Each structure stands twice: as C-alpha cells, then as structure tokens.
Amino acid sequence: MTIRYRSAFGSAGILLAAALAGCAADRPAAADPTTIVYVSNADSAEISVLRLDNATGAITSVDTVAVPGKVMPLTTSRDHRILYASLRSAPYSVAAFGIDSATGKLQPTPIVALPDNMAYLSTDRTGRYLFGASYTGDKISVNAIDPSGRISAEPLQVIATPPHAHSIVADPSNHYVFAAVLGADVILQYRFDESTGRLTPNEPASVATKPGAGPRHLLFHPNGRYVYATNELDGTVNTYRFDPDHGTLTLQHSDSVLPPDFAGGAPATSDLHITPDGRYLYVAERTSSTIKGFRVADATGALTPIGSTPTEAQPRGFAIDPRGRYLIAAGEKSNAITRYTIDPATGTLTPGTHLDLGRDPNWVEIIDMP
C-alpha cells in the first residue's frame, strides 16, 4: 500500500469518500455482525487487521497494513467506517483509513499533520471532532472532522498543559472533556462547545490525584455516573463520581492494581476497559505483566478485586469486544496478543488464542462492522 503525505486536503476528501462508498457497497447481508480487531505494531510500523469469531473466540489474520512511521494510538469513528492512527515519527500526523464493511480491511487516504506527537486520540460523542493528547509536547488539541471523515488540516484549538498530557475523553453528554496529565498529577476539566469544537476550563479547572500517582488513562462507566482512571506511577486505579450538571469529578476510592505477589520495582499501570454491561473493570499493569479484574458495584461504582491474570509481557494496551465475551491483550515485549474469555458469572479470564504479531504491539481496537 502507498500512503501519501499532504499538507492540505486536495483530493483527500474525494479519496476517503470513494473508499467509504466502496465499503458500503460491500456490506454483508448476514444478521450477525463481523467483529474486527485492529492492533498497532509501533516499532514495525504496521497495523494488524484480525477477525474475531463471536461464537468461538478464534482470531484469524485478515491483513497487515504498513504505515510510514511509528504507529499508536488508534481510534475509530463513531460509525465504525474509519480508523484513525497516530503516527509518532516526525512529521507527526494522523492517518485515516476507510474500513471495508465486509472484510475490515483498511483503505488508506492522504495523511494530515497533527500539532504534535500524540499519545492518545479520541473523538467527541458526535464524531465531528478529533481530540489529541501529547505526552512529549505537553498539550491537547482539537481538529474538526467533516461528514466524509476527513480531518481538518489546521487544528481548531491547541492548549498547553502541564507536563505529560496522556489521554483526553468526552463525557456522555458531550458537554465536558477531561484530560489526564501524568506529570502534574491532575485531571483537567473542560467545558466543551460541540457547535464550535472549543474547550474552556471548567470550575474548578482540575482535580488532583495523590502526589506522584501519575494519572494516565480514563473512561466512563456505561451508566455515565462514574469515571475510572489509571495511575501509572503508583499502580492504582481511581474511582470518581461524575456530576453531570457541573461536569466535575469527585474522588471516591483508590484501589491497587498490583498482584499480591508483586516482586517490586516501579509500577507501570497502563490501560483500562470495562465490560459493556458495566459489571467488570480490567486494568493492565506492565511491570508484573498482569491484568487485574474488579467487580463493579452498580449502586456506588466501588470496585472489588477478582484477581490478577498473567498476560503478555508488558501489556500496554488491550480491549474488550462489543458483547463483553472476550478480552484481547497485547504485549510490547512478547510481540504477541492473547485472547481471553470473560466468565459472565465471575469476571475471571481464561486464556485462549495466542497470536504472534509485529514488533511492539501496543494498542487494540475491537469493533463490529456497521
């Protein structure tokens, strides 16, 4: 595949629209959705395209797509028709791929520059804006996305943050945005105007973690009442109560994600995901190469540990399938993924398919074809 760099869109919108038109034309008639897994292999500069069998959990390779530089993170458009990939080799940029609705294969379009080296990408709840968080550049950004999925060549907004912005997420109402900033031990709180794409500091403008905790990734519970955030440096996960009227977070609990037999060394908590029904939360810890499971109390959001599962070496990223049956974890040092079956009664993880991939697999996205 050839991917072209461009400083302006030119024919990019036409190419993306054509790619998406082709995807729609190939839409399968089957009632059961096709589930596709995308894994970015940062050091081999490629994206693995895999198919997940919903009945058996088997994983098969569909394609491997080369990209021009270190690739991670990934995110998809709200309608699952486009995959966005952050390219973290200069010139820093984002690659957009049309997703073939029959096979999940990726159809490349011209690449668009980003304001910096982005460690995290997400879209707002309407899919009209792309958010970025730059760990090395100490900033967050907003780019517009047009109806064809094309990203604006110029950002709408670039905001300087304290050191090491690590993630950025919109709330379910799309009125507020939160950014975890590892180096300052804060989660920044913004009001979001979805008509303009502009962020303005909320009141208060941030909520602090424990000093030295290092907030990294955050997510909303499916019920919208709680937020969970990993703390990379002290090996914990925080539970926050979310105030939807004011767009603010209040810390409720902090729980360890380290296994009972943790052998020492510096914790390196990374990713977290919750099952679609909100019953189980999982957190990856890289130093011990484990995934910690928690049962979630629906009434309070409180977490009860259900055990640590050994996984791929140095798990930086993982994901849960849309039905909450399977968890797929990637190991940066093992250059492989493992698929786990989630027990619906207990939340325990049972390992299954193991698949070797490229170098430094670090980000996992799982979607159903539209």
Q: Which residues contact 108 (CB under 8 A, 6 or more apart)?
A: 1, 2, 3, 65, 95, 97
Nearest CA among 142, 116, 245 for reference residue 199? 142
Distance CA 91, CA 59 (A): 34
Distance CA 53, CA 36 (A): 9
The whole-number pLDDT of residue 110 equals 85
Distance CA 361, CA 370 (A): 25
The whole-number pLDDT of residue 2 equals 31
- Residue 22's H or E segment, with its range, is helix 12-25
State pTM to two decimals. 0.92
Q: Which residues contact 368 (CB under 8 A, 6 or more apart)?
A: 33, 34, 35, 36, 80, 322
The whole-number pLDDT of residue 16 equals 53
Count of H-run helices and E-run strands, the chain: 1, 29
Task: Name the E strands within 244-342.
Answer: 248-256, 269-274, 280-285, 290-296, 303-310, 315-320, 326-331, 336-342
Between the CA of residue 124 and those of 65, 131, 344, what are the distances in Å?
A: 26, 7, 30
The whole-number pLDDT of residue 115 equals 96
The whole-number pLDDT of residue 175 equals 98
Per-residue pLDDT of the chain (370 residues; tens, 9 = 90+): 333 323 333 334 444 544 444 444 444 444 568 999 999 999 999 999 999 999 999 999 999 999 999 999 999 999 999 999 999 999 999 999 999 999 999 999 889 999 999 999 999 999 999 999 999 999 999 999 999 999 999 999 999 999 999 999 999 999 999 999 999 999 999 999 999 999 999 999 999 999 999 999 999 999 999 999 999 999 999 999 999 999 999 999 999 999 999 988 999 999 999 999 999 999 999 999 999 999 999 999 999 999 999 999 999 999 999 999 999 999 999 999 999 999 999 999 999 999 999 999 999 999 999 8
Could you identify the residue written with the tokens 């804060």? Answer: 186
The whole-number pLDDT of residue 8 equals 30
